[in-house]
Structure 1
Amino acid sequence: KNMHMASTLNPYRVGTQPLFASEEVRLRSRVCIELYLDGQRLDLLDFIRRLENQREVEEQLLSQEDRRLFETILNQTVITKLSHRINNSQEWTQRMSGIMEQLNTSMGLRFSLVWKGKPADQQKELDTGELLTLLRKNPMVMGDADRQKITDHFRAKINRARERSQMEATPATYSELMREALDFRNWFTFRLFYQKGGAEKQTKKELTDSAFNSFSGGEKAMAMYVPLFAALAAQYAAANHAEAPRLMALDEAFAGVDETNIESMFALVHELGFDYIMNSQALWGCYPTVSSLNIAELWRPQNAQIVTVLRYHWDGHVRRLEES
């Protein structure tokens, strides 16, 4: 804490001067604390007064910025764009969750996803549901009470962001703080649920850290890769071009997944219809769940100056070396 305070005061070049020269040799002495503000040397009392005056000016400016903030938020263009993006994100989440629920994993695990609005963090803030309801109202018929709720909400958000930037010693402009407050991605949180056994009557449970840690190695792999693949599949589904390739690239594919469960991963990839490129130090991909696969092995003999590419083809049953 003291180190943070010292770093905060560094720009003001804090120094001390003895009040009386004769006191330098005494056990006790009195000193004058001096600081620099806007290039002027000030004693501590004048420095505090100047800061208080600056604060009053900033508070007046903030009141003006609050009005500008409200006008910006209620600008029909901003509301329309926000609503459009939120609706698109909700539709994407629903598509993604639908894909996950339809997947038949080899372990009988089913997953689903909920994009849930966050509750209010502070007294002046609104929860996401109430905020969206107010923002979607026609500004022409909105009452003063609703206007004040919106203003108070975003003022609280901006003040908290400003305090955080000051604590982290990363000053932000008012426009940057406003942009952060209007970033709707921070208004929601994702919650992942799972069902075991594939039974429709089984209750969905939230995939918490403790639940994840109770999974087997294969179940953990499914819990990591199913949402990832479903998110990509949902994006391709939104494009609505069935004839286009559904490309996916994985570096160090399925690292940490044991051999038994890698086959299930490939089954999942093929069930979602991906066209993929995977890179791995040890992975071959020759599994019964893979009907056709082209493989390129980079081979470099010890201390050789060149790298040779060996090409193979897997037909679902046999891997064959192709002639160059």
Structure 2
Amino acid sequence: MATRGPRRQLEQTNPDVHRSRCTRCGAPPPHRRARDRDRLGPAACRRWTPGGPTHRRTPAHIGRRARADGTIHHERAVANLEDLARAALAARDEAAADLQLPTDPASLDAVSQAISDYAVATAGLWPRAWNLLERLSRVHDGLRELEQAESAMVERTRRADMASRAAREERGRWEGLRASIGATVEQIQREVEAISARIRTLEHEDQRLEEVRRMCANRIGRAQDSQVRLERSLSEQADRRASAIGTLERFAANGLLMAAVPELELPTGGWSPDPAARLARRVEQALESVDEDDQTWERMRREISTLFKNLQDGMTLHGHSAILDPIDGWHVVSIAFNGQQWSPAELVALLSDEIEHRERLLNARERELLEEHLVNEIASHLQELIHDVEVQVHDMNQELLQRPTSTGMRLRFRWTPRPDGPAGLPEARARLMRQVHDAWSVDDRASVSAFLKAQIDAVRAANENGTWLEHLTEALDYRRWHHFSIERQQDGHWRAASGPASSGEKVLTVTLPLFAAASAHYRSAHPTAPRLVLMDEVFAGVDDDSRSKSIGLLDTFDLDFVMTSEREWGCYATLPGLAIYQLARREGIDAVHVTAWTWDGRARSRAGHTFASAARRTARSGSSGA
């Protein structure tokens, strides 16, 4: 019963507490009991009169009621205090939400410490940064002109003032924040002492940087002295180089240099240092196997007279003469031929041209007989070549027809005679391809022979100075009689591939013919030669199903390829094997990380790890459309 006394007192002081307690225990509150007494009337009240038997228990009930009233009074006081506490918590939460701060004391202490650290860092950052910049600017000022230094100093002073104002503003803001969260005077004093110590440290750093500036000024002075000496030495070297270039130019002018190294190309116009140096290096490389010791030099000087005498005797036998002229200490030989003087190299070139010209002057009858003999062989060979191309085009078209895009588009190649081709080409081509060479009739042979001779005559008339081989090569080039075109099938109709299309279809229209052209080009290569194709960001804008089908053409056409792409791995079931190198880099790191992968047609693997096949993913993505 001792615990009921405070509660009754609380109920007496706070009726609401008593009312809530009565509600919880199921008893009616006092005002309801009074209302019930009025409603029941005097008859019911008489049962509680002092004369009744219940009245004899009144003292005990009065004591319990007093204790209950005290408890109710305390409960009312507690309820009032709880209301005040909830109001205070609501005000705290509202203020924390406005300031975007936490509500628990530990987090508030962490925020207070973070604000303090930020204020310390802010107060020390700007003075130190600007102080260091000022010291570094003083070091570099020795390398600049006075006007640049003054303007730089004015600019830095302005920036320092701005930084000082910003620092003062930040410090005022910091002090306000510290005051608002209850910073103590002792903490501020400790921070001021730390800042003072930092200022002393920066002053020592200032003195050290000033010493560095003086050292740099001394080094600049020594560097300027060294520059003067180097410029004087450079001038002397330039004079010696100009003298050497002049000597080399005169040596080249007398023809001896071209005689020693005929494949050289001499500079045109004035000889500047760079072309002359490159020429000297090429001469040195070309003559590095020639001995240049003193014994060889003396031996060659003794042999010059003997060799010149032999040349002179040989030229005299044919009615010509050789002349030996000393030029700048060198023996220069020239030959008088057809009333002009020629150097040995010029004479050799002249005689070579003469021989080539006479070789071209074949007897017209002999050429006609030779062409007549070759026409039949050439016609048979042309028939085989044209047939091989048509078979190759047919095979490529079969591969392309088996690889429609997700939209149903197909491509094919057309290899047809040019509309502006030689006259009589359609008829001659029809006779060539009608049947085998051995089954040709006399009219077929005469028609094809006349067409081929007409081509030879046309080329000979256009290039009279060409050789017979050049005439035949140009006249019988069947590739110039035909042209390739690309067609696209959509909605059951074949149209020119140059019409309107989606970006992916345009990419395929350009890429697949390139694969076919590369395959045709490599047909003439050695069987073991690389059949290399280089591609960058290939199949951009093409869906995965079309990628898988198109990239399989590389294997069908037996091409070796190197492909770069940002997202394409090339792991498709249509490729039996692939070596992949994944390159990765990060900003600020001057290196590239390379990861090697392999694809065996089923799975991609690296360093013993095997990853799931991409073929199933490709099939799923391809079935969803482009």
TM tier, smaller: 0.5 to 0.7
Alignment of 1:88-167 (within 5 A): 88-118=388-418, 121-123=421-423, 127-132=427-432, 138=438, 142=442, 147=446, 149-162=447-460, 165=463
CA positional deviation for 1:268? 2.1
Q: Which amino acid aligns with 1:83?
A: Q
Give the secondary-structure state (helix, strand or coil) at the position aligned to 1:156. Answer: helix
Q: What root-mean-square deviation, in Å, do the aligned CA atoms of Structure 1 and Structure 2 show?
A: 4.9
Which of 360, 363, 367 is matched with 1:65 structurally? 367
State the shift of 1:164 in Å: 5.0
Higher share in strand: 1
TM-superposed CA distance for 1:296, in Å, is 0.9
Secondary structure at 1:74 match in 2? helix
Where do residues 261-280 of structure 1 align in structure 2 (5 Å cutoff)? 261=543, 264-270=546-552, 273=555, 277-280=561-564
Q: CA deviation at 1:91?
A: 1.5
Q: Normalised by the size of structure 2, how large is the TM-score?
A: 0.31
Q: Is the 8 A contact 1:100 1:227 kept in 2?
A: no
Are residues 1:295 and 2:580 paired?
Answer: yes
Q: Distance in 1 between matches of 2:602 and 2:425?
A: 61
Question: What runs of 5+ residues in structure 2 fail to find an aligned partner?
Answer: 1-337, 340-359, 523-529, 610-626
Q: What do residues 261-292 of structure 1 show as CA deviations (whole Å, max 9, x unaligned)?
A: 47632442237755864331635426787898
Is the contact made by 2:535 and 2:561 (CA closer than 8 Å) also made in structure 1? no
Distance 1:293 1:263, change over 3 A: farther
**Alpha carbons of structure 1 residues 234 and 217: separation in structure 2 relative to 1, 3 Å:** same
- The Cα shift of 1:173 comes to 1.1
Aligned to 1:311: 596
Aligned-partner residue type, residue 192 of structure 1: I
Whole-Å separation in 2 of the counterparts to 1:81 and 1:317:
45
1:190 to 468, 484, 493: 484
1:231-242 correspondence runs (5 A): none
Q: Percent of aligned positions with the same letter in both sequences?
A: 20
Residues 309, 174 of structure 1: alpha-carbon distance in 2 compared, 3 angstrom cutoff: same
CA distance in 2, matches of 1:111, 1:68: 45
SS in 2 for 1:252: strand
Indicate if the aligned counterparts of 1:263 and 1:287 stay in contact, CA closer than 8 A.
no
Alignment partners' CA distance in 2, 1:309 and 1:70: 64
Alignment check: 8 A CA contact 2:584 2:594 kept: yes
Higher Rg of the two aligned structures:
2
Q: 1:195-250: per-residue Cα shift (whole Å, max 9, x none)? A: 114xxxx222233x4x2xx22211111112233445678999xxxxxxxxxx9754
**Aligned with 2:510 (options 220, 224, 227):** 224
Residue segments in structure 1 that go unaligned for 5+ positions in a row: 1-38, 41-57, 237-246
Confirm or deny: 8 A CA contact 1:312 1:321 kept in the other structure. Answer: yes
Instruction: Considering fraction of residues, name the structure with more helix.
Output: 2
TM-score (norm 1): 0.55
Stretch of structure 1 that moved more, 227-236 or 179-188: 227-236
Kept in 1: contact 2:504–2:540 (CA 8 A):
yes
Instruction: State the Cα distance separating 1:95 from its structure 2 match.
Output: 1.0
- Give the conservation status (yes or no) of the 8 Å contact 2:488–2:494: yes
Highest RCO, 1 vs 2 (Cα 8 Å, sep ≥ 6): 1
Distance in structure 2 (CA, Å) of the matches to 1:161 and 1:289 = 52
Aligned-pair CA distance for 1:84: 2.8
Q: How many residues align?
A: 244
What is the alpha-carbon distance in structure 2 between the residues aligned to residue 232 and residue 321 of structure 1? 31
- State whether residues 254 and 262 of structure 1, in contact with CA within 8 Å, keep that contact through their aligned partners in structure 2: no
Letter in 1 for 2:376: L
Query: Among residues 510, 518, 535, which one is paired with 1:252 in the alignment?
Result: 535
Question: Within 5 Å, which residues of 2 pair with 1:29-108?
Answer: 61-62=363-364, 64-75=366-377, 78-108=378-408
Q: Confirm or deny: 8 A CA contact 1:294 1:313 kept in the other structure.
A: yes
Measured after TM superposition, the shift of residue 317 of structure 1 is 12
Q: What is the alpha-carbon distance in structure 2 between the residues aligned to residue 87 and residue 62 of structure 1?
A: 33
Deviation at 1:106, TM superposition (A): 2.3
Partner of 1:282: 566
Give the secondary structure class of the aligned counterpart of 1:285.
Answer: coil
Please tell me whether the aligned partners of residues 412 and 488 of structure 2 are also in contact (alpha carbons under 8 angstroms): yes
Retained in 2: the 8 A contact 1:194–1:205?
Answer: yes
Quote how far apart the aligned CAs of 1:137 are.
5.1
